[in-house]
């Protein structure tokens, strides 16, 4: 059987890295991109190979549509196709709406929403041609509640947009054997937040504890499996019932 090929954005660290290492243990070929985390990317590529996978680490700013096209073309030329696109990249910052800058506002949409559109457009022709493919993007556990978010306004609007885009892509691509789904994490210990901040949030989580990267990886593993072949346009919350 031919090895499966995944393209993971933001794959050098955090949840993206966890997904890459899990796929490596099942001998996938893994292309992943990073924007500035070159040292982490080298380490992740080494670990992928140690686990039995093949690695291709590429620098790319996925908010740049031209760079995205080059990224996808590079992977398809190198390995022939892309079986799974996992949109793991996504900037985040906390700032009151009236202190937000135009640059900061645009960064949230460019990195969290627009990039998924660019990548979907780029990988769709190849996936349509092979009549198969999986696309997974990341939302936020309570973004679908449409609540006021004074300190993370642009980020939450972008994540709500991810859900609409996911459903739209699912409807368009389902006739071609392609599934498009979202995963919406709550508080996950992915290394991006200080431990004390996570600990303070525990009391707000009905399950009573912070999620792990492995919890999110398990959802990705399911969506990439044949067990999920008829799951399309879904949003899986990984939050211990927080945000619902």
**Domain locations in the chain as residue ranges:** 5-235
List per-residue pLDDT tens for the chain, 244 residues long.
479 999 999 999 999 999 999 999 999 999 999 999 999 999 999 999 999 999 999 999 999 999 999 999 999 999 999 999 999 999 989 999 999 999 999 999 999 999 999 999 999 999 999 999 999 999 999 999 999 999 999 999 999 999 999 999 999 999 999 999 999 999 999 877 778 888 888 999 999 999 999 999 999 999 999 999 999 999 999 999 999 9
Q: In the chain, where does DSSP find H-type helix?
A: 14-24, 38-50, 65-79, 102-109, 115-130, 153-173, 195-201, 213-224
Just list the catalytic residues. 156
Instruction: Tell me the per-residue pLDDT of 87-124, one tens digit each, with 9 for 90 and over.
Output: 999 998 999 999 999 999 999 999 999 999 999 999 99
pLDDT of residue 242: 95
Would you tell me how many other CB atoms lie within 10 Å of the CB of residue 74?
Answer: 16
Q: Three-state secondary structure along 152-174?
A: CHHHHHHHHHHHHHHHHHHHHHH
Distance CA 170, CA 50 (A): 35
> What dotted CATH number matches 5-235?
3.40.50.720
Pairing type for strands 29-34 and 5-9 reads parallel
The pTM of the whole model exceeds 0.85: yes
Question: Token match 């999110």: residue?
Answer: 216
DSSP for residue 30: E
pLDDT of residue 192: 74
């Amino acid at each position: 059987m031919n090895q499966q090929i995944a393209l993971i954005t933001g794959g050098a660290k955090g949840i993206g890295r966890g997904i890459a290492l899990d796929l490596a243990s099942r001998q996938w070929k893994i292309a992943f991109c990073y924007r500035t985390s070159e040292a982490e990317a080298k380490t992740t590529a080494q670990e992928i190979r140690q686990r039995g996978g093949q690695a291709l680490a590429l620098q790319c700013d996925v908010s740049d549509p031209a760079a995205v096209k080059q990224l996808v073309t590079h992977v398809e030329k190198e390995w022939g196709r892309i079986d799974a696109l996992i949109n793991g990249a996504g900037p985040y910052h906390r700032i009151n709406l009236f202190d937000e800058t135009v640059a900061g506002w645009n960064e949230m949409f460019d990195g969290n929403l627009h990039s998924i559109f660019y990548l979907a457009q780029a990988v769709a022709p190849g996936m349509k041609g092979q009549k198969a493919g999986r696309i997974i993007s990341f939302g936020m556990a309570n973004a679908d509640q449409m609540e006021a978010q004074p300190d993370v306004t642009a980020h939450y609007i972008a994540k709500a947009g991810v859900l609409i885009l996911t459903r739209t892509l699912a409807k368009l691509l389902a006739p071609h054997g392609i599934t498009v789904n979202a995963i919406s994490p709550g508080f996950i210990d992915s290394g991006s937040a200080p431990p004390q901040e996570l600990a303070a949030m525990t009391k707000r989580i009905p399950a009573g504890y912070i999620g792990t990267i492995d919890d999110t990886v398990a959802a990705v593993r399911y969506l990439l499996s044949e067990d999920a072949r008829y799951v399309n346009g879904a949003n899986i919350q990984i939050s211990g019932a927080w945000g619902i």
